[in-house]
Amino acid sequence: MLNSGLTQYLLERNRSNVSSKELFSFDKLYHPETYGLETLGIKNPGWVYRNIPVAQLIQHALARGEGRLASNGAFVVETGKYTGRSPQDRYIVDEPSTRDEIHWNNLNVPLYEETFDRLYRRVLAYVQGRDLYIFDDFVGADPRYRFGVRVVNEFAFQNLFVHQLFLRPTTDELAEHQADFTVIAVPGFQGDPEEDGIRSEGFVISGYTSKLAGTERGITTPQVTFSACFGQCFFSPRNRTGSTQ
């Protein structure tokens, strides 16, 4: 919930049809910094924003037509046809280091590494030239056991969502933040079931060495992240891995 003064300010700016160029005049402060996205294979993105304040995220989301402000200041988004979890569209990369530790069934569906690599290349092509929002955060309150998460979003409202959901780093923590797990959420990308070997155009893929999440308008981000947290921090003796593609 926003305070009343900020709510009124955003409502007035939304009604005044301020141009995107004017609204995003501060963007030069963030570009061309990519904040290490190249380590994920992401090249030539548009503007890249990292851990920007809530007010700016809402300004971006409004200007980009991602949703609207309700009279009480809440940001409202239509989720489309995906209104909840889609368990049959969740895949786990079948790779040697974890293959024998996973209970494969109709909910833990294996995905060949070759299939993941092909999908990931298509996602990398899709995000070229697009604005991206990064939120570096933590899962787990105890510093001894928590691990760092980097969420890369196509939409500003998704970044607002994870900003409210996960533990926010202090200024000092952000300066030293290292991601143990990376989530890439690109709802605008649609898979091709026939070409990509998946069930539908929407999918979530997770793994210990390869991680990718999409495309359910932000709904699956906490699902895949907390699944990794519990699987990796509590039930698996495996050391935490870095956020590489």
Looking at residue 46, the DSSP 8-state letter turns out to be S
Looking at residue 39, the DSSP 8-state letter turns out to be G
pTM greater than the 0.85 cutoff: no
Give the relative orientation of helices 221-233 and 156-165 as an angle to the nearest 10 degrees. Answer: 40
pLDDT number for residue 197: 73
- Exposed, middle or buried by CB within 10 Å (0-12, 13-18, 19+), for 71? exposed
pLDDT number for residue 144: 87
Do residues 152 and 40 make contact, with C-beta atoms less than 8 angstroms apart? yes
pLDDT number for residue 239: 38
pLDDT number for residue 126: 92
pLDDT number for residue 113: 86
CB-CB neighbours of 229 under 10 Å: 19
pLDDT number for residue 7: 55
- Nearest-angstrom CA–CA distance, 87 and 41: 27
Question: Strands 147-153 and 75-76, how do they pair?
Answer: unpaired
- The contacts of residue 149 (CB under 8 Å, 6+ apart) are 136, 137, 138, 139, 166, 179, 180, 181, 182, 183, 225
Q: From first to last of its 245 residues, what are the pLDDT tens digits of the chain?
A: 455 555 555 555 555 444 444 455 444 444 468 999 999 999 999 999 999 999 999 999 999 999 999 999 899 998 766 555 666 777 888 888 878 888 888 888 888 888 888 888 888 999 999 999 999 999 888 888 888 999 999 999 999 999 998 999 999 999 999 998 888 888 888 777 777 777 666 666 776 554 454 444 444 444 444 444 433 433 333 333 333 33
Do residues 236 and 150 make contact, with C-beta atoms less than 8 angstroms apart? no
Quick one: tokens of 49? 């924003």
In order of their start, the domains of the chain are: 87-233 (3.40.449.10)
**Cα 112-186-195 angle, rounded to 5 deg:** 40
